Amino acid sequence: MVKDRVKILMAKPGLEGHWRGMTIVSSALRDAGYEVIYGGNMLPPEIGQTAAQEDVDMVGLSILSSNYMRLVSETLEELRKNNKDDVTVLLGGIIWESDFAALKHMGIAGIFTPGTPLQDIVAFVNTKTAAQPSR
């Protein structure tokens, strides 16, 4: 079966409760024609399982509580366990520049801190997805 739309899972690993950033990015991606699954707060194993079940092409993570090194590493590990290590993983939220290199080395494709114009995020996703979204 050929998927007609690029599927993106948006999730906040852990339990920190600020959802504003992730909601607005999710809306922008949906408006750009992507199929967005809004997961809300999810634990890393749930992210891995959902990514596999829904066969997503991309995972967007949002973290504002400074424990991202641990949560990102756990989430990437869960994606691997679920044979989803081929998905593109993006990270948004409060991320310190001093950690960018380490995060990219771990496998994060793009990092977006607060104040990033939404169109920049959408443009980044466009270039990362080979299949053009179609409605």
Partner 1 sequence: MTANNEDQIKSASGIPIKDLYIPNDIKDIDYDKEIGLPGQPPFTRGVYQTMYRGQLWTIRRLSGFNTPEDTNNLYREEYELGQTGFSIAPDISTASGMDPDDPRVVSDVGHAGAPIYSLEDMETVFDGLPIERVSTFLADRVGGLLTPAYFIMAQKRGIPMDQVRGTTANDLCTWSSMELANQPTPHTFLRMSVDLIEWCAENAPRWYPISMNSYNPRDNGITAVQELGMLMATVIQYIEEAKRRGRVPLDKFVRRFAFNMAVHNDFFEEICKLRAARRMLLKIIRDRYGIDDPKCGQLRVHVQSSGSTHTHQEPLNNLVRIAYQVMAGVLGGAQSIHANGYDEAVCLPTDQSMLLSIRTEQIVALETNVTNTIDPLGGSYFVESLTNEIEERAWDFVKKIEEVGGMAQAINTGWIHREYKAAIIDYERKLRSGEINVVGVNKFRMEKEPHSIPIFKPDPKSADILVERIKRQREQRDNAKVTKALQNLEEVVRSEENTFPAIMEAVKAQATPGELAAIPLKVYGPWTYPIGV
Residues that bind partner 1 (CB under 8 A): 10, 12-20, 23-24, 26-28, 30, 36, 38, 40-41, 43, 65-67, 70-71, 74, 94, 96-98, 113-115, 117-119
Give least dist CB 10 to partner 1, A. Answer: 7
Secondary structure element (H or E) that encloses residue 93, with its range: strand 88-93
Counting beta carbons within 10 angstroms of the beta carbon of residue 83, is it exposed (0 to 12), middle (13 to 18) or buried (19 or more)? exposed
Kindly compute the dihedral angle of the four CA atoms of residues 87, 102, 114, 44, in this order, to the nearest 10 degrees. Answer: 50
Q: Which residue number, 9 or 87, has a Cβ lying nearer to partner 1?
A: 9
Q: Which residue number, 83 or 120, has a Cβ lying nearer to partner 1?
A: 120
Q: Which residue number, 24 or 83, has a Cβ lying nearer to partner 1?
A: 24
Give least dist CB 115 to partner 1, A. Answer: 5
Residue 133's CB is within 10 A of a number of other CB atoms, namely: 17
Give least dist CB 131 to partner 1, A. Answer: 20
Give least dist CB 96 to partner 1, A. Answer: 6
Residue 116 DSSP class: -
Q: Which residue number, 23 or 129, has a Cβ lying nearer to partner 1?
A: 23
First-to-final CA distance of the chain: 17
Query: DSSP secondary structure string, 46-68?
Result: HHHHHHHHTT-SEEEEEE-SS-H
